[in-house]
Every structure is written in C-alpha cells, then in structure tokens.
Structure 1
C-alpha cells in the first residue's frame, strides 16, 4: 500500500494517523489477548486458539464477528480511502444506499422465487 504525505513512519504499518478526537478511549495500542485467547494486533493471526487455525466447512464465520476481533489502532481496514478520510481528515463517509452502476439489484424484488426446476431468468440489460 502506498504511503501518503501524512503517513508517520514511526507507527505500525496497519495504523493510521488518527485525528486527536479519535485517539482517546480507543483501547490498547499494543497487541492484546481477546476473550477467546487469541492475540489481536500482532499481524500474525496465528494464535493457537484462533478459529483460523481450526477452520473447516463446519465453522460458522460468526465466531469471528465482533469488536473483540478488531484492534482499535492496528487494523488493515483503517487503510481504506474512506476510513483514512474519516479518521485522519474528519471527512464523514457519504450516506446513501449502495447501488451497482450497471445492475439493478432490486430486479424482481418481492416476486416469488422460482422452483429449482425452472431455469433461472436472466436480468434484462
């Protein structure tokens, strides 16, 4: 990932330069062990208790959902343009519903789902 003018070389590669109002009360800067015994914030994602080490087709992805799996300062998600704009520049994300530029995602919304024997219908262009 490219470095911008405001990047501080002394911070972790997955950390951004938070505005002062986003630094307080976030939680620890150093790696920590979450309630499941998994180290969060070390970038190895290889704790013995991590579901990533025990993943199978029977694993429910929800076991890794929630704030206890995200480091408050060191997360790759902070590096997105939208998060950098918000946390480093104070520019709030644009609101509105997500829409595909070339697809009508609401096509046939509310209509009954056809039986599996029927061929799926192609969305009109």
Structure 2
C-alpha cells in the first residue's frame, strides 16, 4: 500500500497490506494487531490476514484498522482535517465504493472523499 500527500512527488510510505493478530493471547508486551512489514516480520507468531483480495476490500473491520493505522501512525494526521483521495480498481463493486465513503465520513469524519480509478490516476 502506498500512502502520502497529494503535493508529494513520492509516497510517504509503502508497506504490505497485511494485518496480523497473535496466535496466542495474553503474552506480555504483545499488541492486539500488527500491520504491514511488522506483521510480516512476526509471521511465525501471528495469524496473517489480507483485507484486500484482487484489488477488492473483503474484510471491512481489518480495512478500518488499516486506515486508522495509516492516518494516526504513518501520516500522523487527524483525518477530519483532510479530504481523502483513495484509489480503487476499475472492477470495484458499487456497494464497496459506498461502504468506503460511509466509513470515511462516519468513522473518520473526513471533510471529503474522492475515489479515483487506479489506471486513470496513473496518467496524472
């Protein structure tokens, strides 16, 4: 996953779209969820999940965790202060687009959302 700001030439960060939860609960110092490279590096002790399959979101709870991580850990922003530009596959079902917009407005309180089709945005 590539994340950043629209006026940057390159993404702020690039990381794998994976979340991991500990196989064994209750170990001191363990997080509830590991994301990206950190999850991959601890794959022996985690159950890994991929919230996006074939460019389509299939696990909404994990995707919400991923967006939270992006906003608060990677970008260090308050999402309500920004308009979000998210890319999507040309084959994204309408119901998924609606769900993305709903989460961005209702959970993250963003000021706006624009969904752009990946190949179209590549031209810019």
**Fold agreement, TM-score > 0.5:** no
Larger radius of gyration: 1
TM, length-normalised to structure 1: 0.23
Q: Report the structure, 1 or 2, having the larger strand content.
A: 2
Q: TM-score, normalised by structure 2?
A: 0.23
